[in-house]
Structure 1
């Protein structure tokens, strides 16, 4: 499935610019590519890193750990004494993530919460400075109320894959297997952009990233 968010020559150029220099992350990228494990794209990862450096969060919530690729990026980019809580239901992914997190020396900084994301979110009460949502796209709308509740005023909320290879903006026929997710993502983007609690930007990088800040109460 082609990415219609940016031009192919732009994608190639950015792939060269953001070629991974870190051996551990490079290994994770190769594993993900070989086994069709979804991880954040290089240009999106760079944006995530910058947002972390700017906001200096002490508590991060990640929804969708997979093998821990973005988890490690977040943990390395946040405040020195910070903690990342990351949610994952797949035990095989958790096992792989734990191995990589240990090799990165971040086992004291990252806590994996094993379970269904919506059920785990319902049990959380302490607010977060930064939330990164990169899980089942069809459930983003279900996760949103929990994310808004758990995000501190002034906090950053980032969602990956919101443009879904460009199909969210596509006119005309969309294959049935992609249609439901596309409709749900359009609704999700509208909810973000129309929410009076949030300031939202949709960035056409990678697979599309929504960057939101929760307004501080005046």
Structure 2
């Protein structure tokens, strides 16, 4: 789920003034919109360019993505990997396997991206890695848990990126009017704000993105 909270024309202008999509990403976005009813969940070019920029700046050796969907954000985050770098991506819905693996191959990333299908709460626990970048874009009530699972596996300067932190703007609703997802996101945002192990900035891009640095 991703809702653009800000003026459509300004979002369009920001996309036009950002770098062009890689051809493989444009093809993946087209196929996702054609084949999947919840295609609004795909990151898209503006968010994708941000993910690529962070990846190129960090030059990560190990990246974890929690919530693959059709693989767009994984391909973006893999762009800045070191020569020996690997990205692990975890998706609950194994019906996405075909399209994910197809575009990993088309991007020539078979040796750089490792896919896992199943319950991220279990899979993340089993991955024995030290993460440079973690991207969280999965079930909203588990964001706090995912953060807790990865934060101690990151060295100082590691980056966590969390999507949908504004959740359609509903994080501003009174607590009694919030559904489980927006309530979970508000609690997650508060959790970050009160955690002295990290510094973070919330960016008003699409549905809200927080970029978090481990101190």
TM-based fold match above 0.5: yes
Q: How does 1:49-60 map to 2 (within 5 A)?
A: 49-60=52-63
Structure 1 position 185 matched with structure 2 position 188: no
DSSP-derived class of the 2:5 partner: coil
- 2:136 is the counterpart of 1:136: no
More displaced stretch, 147-156 vs 206-215: 147-156
1:68 aligns with 2:68: no
Residue 213 of structure 2 is matched in structure 1 by: 213
Q: Which residue is 2:80 aligned to?
A: 77
Alignment map for 1:1-218 (pairs within 5 Å): 3=3, 5-18=5-18, 20-34=20-34, 35=36, 36-37=38-39, 38-170=41-173, 174=177, 179-215=179-215
Structure 1: 4+ residue segments shifted above 4 A: 1-4, 170-174
Measure how far apart 1:124 and its partner are.
Answer: 2.1
Kindly report the root-mean-square deviation, in angstroms, between the aligned alpha carbons of the 2 structures: 2.2
Cα separation, 2, equivalents of 1:144 and 1:151: 11
Quote the Cα distance in structure 2 between the aligned partners of 1:167 and 1:80. Answer: 41
Gaps of 5+ in 1: none
Range with greater deviation from structure 2 (34-43 or 88-97): 34-43
5+ unaligned residues in a row in structure 2: which ranges?
none
- The alignment of Structure 1 onto Structure 2 pairs a total of residues equal to 212
User: 1:155 offset after TM fit, Å?
Assistant: 0.5
Taking a change above 3 Å as real, the CA distance of residues 131 and 171 of structure 1, as seen in their structure-2 partners, is same
Q: Which moved more, 1:145-154 or 1:206-215?
A: 145-154
Deviation at 1:207, TM superposition (A): 1.2
Query: Distance between the aligned counterparts of 1:5 and 1:75, measured in 2?
Result: 27
Secondary structure in 1 aligned to 2:110?
Answer: coil
TM-score in terms of structure 1 length: 0.88
Q: In structure 2, do the counterparts of structure 1 residues 113 and 172 end up closer, same or farther at CA, with 3 Å as the change threshold?
A: closer
- Normalising by structure 2, what TM-score? 0.89
Partner Cα distance (1:172, 1:80) in 2: 47
